[in-house]
Amino acid sequence: MRLDNKNKNDFILYSVRLSLTLHLAKDKLKITKPFYLMKKFFILTLMAAMVVAASAQTKKVSILGDSYSTFQGIIPANYSTFYPNNQNDVKEVEQTWWSLYIKAKGYELEKNDSWSGTTICGTGYGRMDSSRSNFISRVDSLGNPDIIFVFGGTNDAWANSPVGEYQYSDWTKDDCKNFRPALACLFDMLQKRYPKAKLVSLLNSELREPINESMREVCKHYKVQLIELHDIEKQNGHPSISGMKSICEQLVEAGL
């Protein structure tokens, strides 16, 4: 059972006050061993409550992403990966943006469902149908997270996927071959599938403006927090060690 913050704090405060009261009463009234044992019991209860509180604050993080968030051995075995790569200096999983972030915050990884080369929409490179691997097709693969990072749109930009028009309901497969309807459909599905999770969208730097504009508008519609990344050092088009650190720092600076 997970205590909410109010009940958790009230319980700890009550335990502290009770322990202090017992301590003062013992000193004042010279109360004997049975009362001392009772006091000790409440102190142990307080310590247990603090352990429970610390545990309750550990959040689980899931990532729905593309190559920027991959790492071999972490993502599903049948997915394409970019990291590690001989054209990039990121060689260890601990150097990835998400691992750095989780360590910095004291959180834990729930699921990393990142697939290199995938688009949010159903149109991939060479105008191929990517609906079997796109972000929408993987919505149900994120476990039971407290925070979901959606880090996509890069391949939609690089593949020159069609942008389409804004559409916020009644999507068809053909609608979702376009970026704007697909992004809206994705956020709608995620919010319904994970209603208690905080949803955060990360926008890569140096993408074409229609993708940036679309991400801003759709995030605003669904009240999804958007982090527009900047100054990301890259090697072979992907974040380097320095770039990964910069992404992590920008997330922490945003209060996440």
| Residue 140, CB-side half-sphere exposure with 13 Å CA sphere | 1
Q: In this predicted structure, what is the pLDDT of residue 29?
A: 47
Q: In this predicted structure, what is the pLDDT of residue 170?
A: 97
Give the 3-state secondary structure of residue 228.
strand
Please list the ranges in the chain whose pLDDT falls under 50. Answer: 1-9, 11-13, 15-16, 19-20, 24, 29, 31, 49, 51-55
Parse the chain into domains and list their residue ranges: 5-56, 60-253
Alpha carbons 202 and 211: distance in angstroms, whole number: 12
Give the 3-state secondary structure of residue 39.
helix
Alpha carbons 108 and 118: distance in angstroms, whole number: 25
Alpha carbons 35 and 32: distance in angstroms, whole number: 6
For residue range 146-161, list pLDDT tens digits in order. Answer: 999 999 999 999 999 9
Alpha carbons 119 and 136: distance in angstroms, whole number: 9
Backbone angles phi, psi at 220, to 5 degrees: -60, -45
Give the 3-state secondary structure of residue 12.
helix
Taking Cα atoms as reference points, which of 248, 256, 252 lies closest to residue 69? Answer: 248
For 60-253, CATH gives 3.40.50.1110
Residue keyed to tokens 């322990």: 19
Q: Where are the beta strands (DSSP E) in 58-166?
A: 60-65, 108-114, 147-151
The neighbour count for residue 173, using CB atoms within 10 Å, is 10
Q: In this predicted structure, what is the pLDDT of residue 46?
A: 54
Q: In this predicted structure, what is the pLDDT of residue 3?
A: 45
